[in-house]
Homo-oligomer: A and B are copies of this chain.
Amino acid sequence: MAITKKGIEKKEYIVEKAAAVFVQKGFTAVTMEDIVEACGISRGGLYAYYSSTKEIFEDIVFREKNVDYSFFTEGMENEKNSIQILTGFFEQQKNELLRLDTTIRRAVYEFFLFHKEAALEDAVKQNYRETVSIISRTLAYGIARNEIYKITFEDTEKVANHMIILLEGLSILALSKQISRDLIDEQLEIMIKNLI
């Protein structure tokens, strides 16, 4: 069987193939039929592992590797300039923004707009909190090094939230209104300017 490739779990295989479908069509529009087709397996074969698109979708999102924070931690350990660390992070986010239609993230947005799912919600919130935390610590690090002086230690969390919210806003604009690379650059620049 071409399906059970040596050493690859069937579930992993399904999740991988299904992810491509969700990326393209979003969550709501996807049917079990679509996934059967994308996987090249039978209805029965699929139902043996998953009994709804929601189950599959959750699995995909949970398996998504979390954000990699080593960028921040290593930067601070090596005593790099805080502004450089943040700028690098923004650069990385910008690149993701520009290829948002090739990741599962767009489908996740759609999912949350009209579906409630506590488990997924918790996962996303957790991720959000972690990101706020690491940015916040980086800001504090920058303040301590006198590289960031327009905000105080008390502001770090607020400002970290502010940054992420702006990135979310840019995401939505990128998805629905096709904003330019220049606008993104310009906006990220403003954020830096509000720090130094």
> Cβ of A25: which chain B residues have Cβ within 8 Å of it?
114
> Cβ of A40: which chain B residues have Cβ within 8 Å of it?
none
B166 near A109 with CB under 8 A, answer: no
User: Within 8 Å of chain B (Cβ to Cβ): is A4?
Assistant: no
Q: How far is the CB of A144 from chain B (nearest CB, A)?
A: 21
Complex Cα gap A32–B195 (Å): 52
Point out residues on A near B: beta carbons under 8 Å.
Answer: 25-26, 28-29, 106, 109-110, 112-114, 121, 124-125, 128, 158-159, 161-162, 164-173, 175-177, 183, 186-187, 190, 194
Extra A-B contacts (8), CB below 8 Å, given A110-B114, A165-B166, A166-B169: A106-B114, A109-B109, A110-B110, A113-B176, A158-B186, A161-B183, A164-B169, A171-B172
A177 near B113 with CB under 8 A, answer: no
Q: A110-B110, A175-B112, A177-B121 are in contact. Are A187 and B162 (CB under 8 A)?
A: yes
> Cβ of A125: which chain B residues have Cβ within 8 Å of it?
177
- Complex A-B: 17 CB contacts under 8 Å: A26-B113, A26-B114, A28-B28, A28-B110, A106-B113, A109-B113, A109-B172, A109-B176, A112-B177, A113-B176, A124-B176, A158-B187, A161-B183, A161-B186, A162-B190, A165-B173, A194-B194
